Amino acid sequence: MRKKFAASSDRALVQIVDVALADVTQRAGKWLACGRGCTQCCIGVFSINQLDVWRLRKGLAELERNDPKRAARLRDRARDAVRRLSADFPGDPESGLLDEGEEAERQFFEFANQEACPVLDPETGDCELYEWRPMTCRVFGPPVPTEGGLGMCELCFQGATNEEISACELRPDPEDLESKLVRQVERASGVQGNTIVPFGLTVG
């Protein structure tokens, strides 16, 4: 029998990341262009893990309880996206899981770069599952360590020096709690691997 994933574990991770982001936001000041109405990070698909999927589905379930009509519109957008993207999906469109390996990464890099996230309300520009958004969304904007250096939103830190950018580096999960929780979710659900938001909301 699979062990149920504890929601409190994810809340602890979200709190750690949000506190780290609040600190960086204060340090960055004018350099951080992120704000309500900016949808730069909402265009183009990105990979999410099974913990992100779990969180998004929890958020959608809550939205369905509080505002069924909004939830239905969101589901329709997600299903429409799956129909558009399935033919060229770099993975298994039936399960929604992305392939792994160098060739798969190359295909994903070129895949659906102009596709709007279905969680984005096209009328208001708001994220309809903001409190439940994936980790990628939570940390997008400030400089975050990557294999190629510090990655950040192209709209942020315009005109800043390298020193000013480095001073605002975000380390959202220094103990790598997320990886441990992803493994727990995968064991609980029996599903392993990454997907994208439309498939995560509609497949399975």
User: Can you tell me the distance from the alpha carbon of 13 to that of 97, in angstroms, rounded to the nearest whole number?
Assistant: 24
Are 193 and 50 spatial neighbours (Cβ–Cβ below 8 Å)?
Answer: yes
Q: What was the pLDDT predicted at 148?
A: 80
Token pair of 113 as six digits: 């770069």
Per-residue pLDDT tens for 97-132? 999 999 999 999 999 999 999 999 999 999 999 999
> Any idea which of 58-62, 109-113, 149-153 has the lowest mean pLDDT?
149-153
- Each domain of the chain, given as residue ranges in start order, spans 7-13+39-133+179-202
User: pLDDT of 31-49, one tens digit each?
Assistant: 998 888 888 889 999 999 9
Query: Which range (80-84, 94-98, 118-122, 148-152) has the least confidence?
Result: 148-152
Tokens 């400089």, residue located: 143
Q: In terms of C-beta density within 10 A (0-12 exposed, 13-18 middle, 19 or more buried), how is residue 137 classed?
A: buried
